[in-house]
Amino acid sequence: MWEAVALAFALAMDATAVSAARALGAENRREVVVLPIVFGAFQAGMAALGWLGGHAIQRYLAGYDVWIAFVLLVAIGLKMIWDGVRASHDDPPAKGSAMLYLGLGIATSIDAAAAGVTLPLLDVAPWIAIALIGVITAACSALGHLAGRALAEKFGKRLAIVGGVVLIGIAIRMVLG
């Protein structure tokens, strides 16, 4: 059971960092609910796909998974940096969109598909591990968003630049291994 919990926390870290980074650049309070739901659902769903699809999915994504996540995270990070540079105190809050949430969900959960292949090796039923992955990711994402929002309220909208740099850093770390 502890292996499944550790796996869930490991998979949740990128989503948590992205939630915090997103909170730095946006004053959209609904994201504290939307992002955890999106990230939890995508992490659990991709782990389930990995478990069900086994090596077939891994074979097709093997050469491209990191690059897909890299492109999505860099693009979103650059957009956050651009918005932070242009920010003024009179700007309206940055709005999230379904496409943004979809891109973030995919970018942060591709590794969960590969991890899903290993679920039968754990000492717990795969469906329990999948549920743990979803719930722990959602909880960590909510906490990350709240922490990011607290920093943004204290230091201002220009922290969106920091959030964008964090996303690009996550992308580079993924590529470099």
For 101-140, the pLDDT digits (tens) are 998 999 888 878 878 877 887 789 999 999 999 999 999 9
Confidence bin at 76 (pLDDT 50/70/90): confident
Confidence bin at 89 (pLDDT 50/70/90): low
Q: What is the pLDDT of residue 146?
A: 92
Tokens of 144: 């990350």
Q: Is the pLDDT assigned to residue 167 strictly greater than 90?
A: no
Question: Taken in order 19, 47, 78, 91, is the CA torsion positive or negative?
Answer: negative
Phi, psi (5° rounding) for residue 138? -60, -45
- Residue 97's region, left for phi above 0, alpha for psi from -120 to 50, else beta, is beta
